[in-house]
Structure 1
């Protein structure tokens, strides 16, 4: 679905001038914006390592497939990486998919932590309901072990604030428990979180998009209002306030 290609020869298109650099996925052959892909880098020892922040020096290779697709493409991956890095002297870790997933999850948690410190995240049912009813809620997130009743009440407050009662607008249940969500925000027992700034919601959604697309929709049980179709169905930045996040 997405596409890597080495950093030294970026694809030049009219889309790139508007939306940013485009790369080709070494496995699917499809082209996509670089920010939606995952970069792989080659260590001095020849190990292929995830570089999800795209900061490592040297030649890079880009992928836009899911973890399941990556794991199923072991033979093809070796040849594709050898061509991208222009060397056969590479070692692909057996747990490459797990390493990528871990880095992507860390990116989401770091983003939430930063937005919380900046005052862009409301926690606690009362505060989230108030933000929702006053029209200040832009993205609603739940821990995987959140109760259905609590999630439903917050979603209702959000719909009221957006004047969308009766719509399908609801929050996204993340594939992480309240323990992990609490650690990310530096608070105890965080079950729900609401982004109260539109730009912060867009930044968080971008990180979520890459993570949830890669791990796939069935990677973790999601007991309350769940994301069942993967991250590719995330609403666009322009419509983040107007469409539901259920399809993340």
Structure 2
């Protein structure tokens, strides 16, 4: 059962969110799990910013975690009404929030690389698949379809040979330039996550990013 906090638009600060598992979206007026919402706060300079980690000080306004919902909140002037004061709301807030999510996913992938839990390059990814070491595939969002098809076929072939019904998550949340920056190398199109806790954080953040971009509908990466 969801622990629903005060249904008022604004929370009383980050400490009040620790026990709550649900909040009301200021746009849709629907109560949703906080994992499906984004908390927004007002910075000291009076500008509305996304608080992805739900830890920034001050009262927070909650919006459904989708690009469309945040854009609608901006269009409706929902932030000034919700915070009950004049605040500066960038017209680009929905896209700014998406970029924060991209950065968050990139930071998580960089930690995966630092932990030695990722390999990159078609041959290394294919080898990790054959050795049953890969727990997830990463394809650049702008990668060529041919390479993606070949690796997907390798996954199906391995599953068929072993008789396993094991599904390997496929992440397409980041483009090649973003993968390059996260992994500290050039021309990354394909990569594979290896087992380890750092990879789980990256998968969670990637899923959040994809849901945001797709309107909160897709659950895969």
Shorter-chain TM-score bucket reads: 0.7 to 0.9
3-state SS in 1 of match to 2:96: helix
Match of 2:186 among 167, 184, 188: 188
Residue 8 (structure 1) aligned with residue 12 (structure 2)? yes
Q: 1:25-40 alignment to 2 at 5 Å?
A: 25-40=25-40
Structure 1: distance between partners of 2:44 and 2:117? 40
3-state SS in 2 of match to 1:233: coil
Q: Which residue of 2 aligns with 1:173?
A: 172
Q: Select the structure with the greater relative contact order (CA < 8 A; seq sep ≥ 6).
A: 2
Q: Which residue of 1 aligns with 2:124?
A: 127
Higher alpha-carbon deviation: 91-100 or 145-154: 145-154
Structure 1: distance between partners of 2:25 and 2:177? 35
Aligned partners of 1:27 and 1:65 also within 8 Å: no
User: Residues 133 and 83 of structure 1: is their aligned pair in 2 closer, same or farther, counting only changes over 3 Å?
Assistant: same
Aligned partners of 1:70 and 1:97 also within 8 Å: yes
TM superposition shift of 1:72: 3.3
Q: Which residue of 2 aligns with 1:51?
A: 51
Give the TM-score, by structure 2 length.
0.79
3-state SS in 1 of match to 2:134: coil
Match of 1:232 among 207, 218, 221: 218
3-state SS in 2 of match to 1:183: helix
Structure 2: distance between partners of 1:199 and 1:146? 26
TM superposition shift of 1:165: 8.2
Structure 2: distance between partners of 1:158 and 1:50? 38
Q: 1:48-197 alignment to 2 at 5 Å?
A: 48-76=48-76, 78-79=77-78, 81-82=79-80, 84-85=82-83, 87-162=84-159, 163=162, 171-176=170-175, 178-197=176-195
Structure 2: distance between partners of 1:4 and 1:51? 18
Aligned partners of 1:133 and 1:161 also within 8 Å: yes
Structure 2: distance between partners of 1:233 and 1:202? 15
Structure 1: distance between partners of 2:145 and 2:164? 18
Give the TM-score, by structure 1 length.
0.71
Structure 1: distance between partners of 2:217 and 2:129? 23
- CA RMSD for the aligned pairs? 3.1
Aligned partners of 2:39 and 2:60 also within 8 Å: yes
The answer for unaligned runs of 5 or more in structure 1 is: 218-229, 235-247
TM superposition shift of 1:9: 7.9
